[in-house]
Amino acid sequence: MIKVFSTPTCPYCHVLKQFLKENNIEFEDIDVSKDEKAREEMIKKSGQFGVPVIEIDGEIVIGFDKEKISELLNINE
């Protein structure tokens, strides 16, 4: 299960989501600007006050760390 914590106006979130889409990865997009509970959940899990944060099968990756995300999702370019 993949969750992306993002805000609609964050450019890095846009790049991250586009990258996932290009690689046909399904994910749940959580808009933390609208969902306060999700925001709290994200802060608790990541220790971060910033987006994007991606959760891949329980593992948290902060920011658009392409290398780490590719590794966790077995994406080879």
Partner 1 sequence: MPNMLYDLIIIGGGPAGITAGIYTARQRLKTLLITKDFGGQIAKKAVPIENYPGFKEISGLDLIQKFEKHLKKFETDIETDSVIKIEKINKNFIVTSENKKQFKARAVIIASGADPRPLKVPGEKEFIGKGVSYCVTCDAPFFSNKTVAVIGGGNAGFETAIALSRWAKKIYILEAGLEVKADLENQEMAKETGKVEIITNSVLKKIQGDKFVNSIIYEDRKTREEKELKVEGVFVEIGLQPSTAFAKDLVEFNKRGEIKVDFETFQTKTPGLFAAGDVNTGKFKQIITACSEGAKAALAAYEYLKKQNGN
User: Closer to partner 1 at the Cβ: 2 or 10?
Assistant: 10
For residue 24, report the phi and psi dihedrals to the nearest 5 degrees. 55, 40
Interface with partner 1 (CB under 8 A), residue total 25
* Burial class (CB within 10 angstroms; exposed 0-12, middle 13-18, buried 19+) of 5: buried
User: Closer to partner 1 at the Cβ: 1 or 9?
Assistant: 9
We find the least distance from the C-beta atom of residue 47 to partner 1, in angstroms, to be 7
Q: Which of 39, 54, 55, 56 binds partner 1 (CB under 8 A)?
A: 39
Residue 56's SS3 state is strand
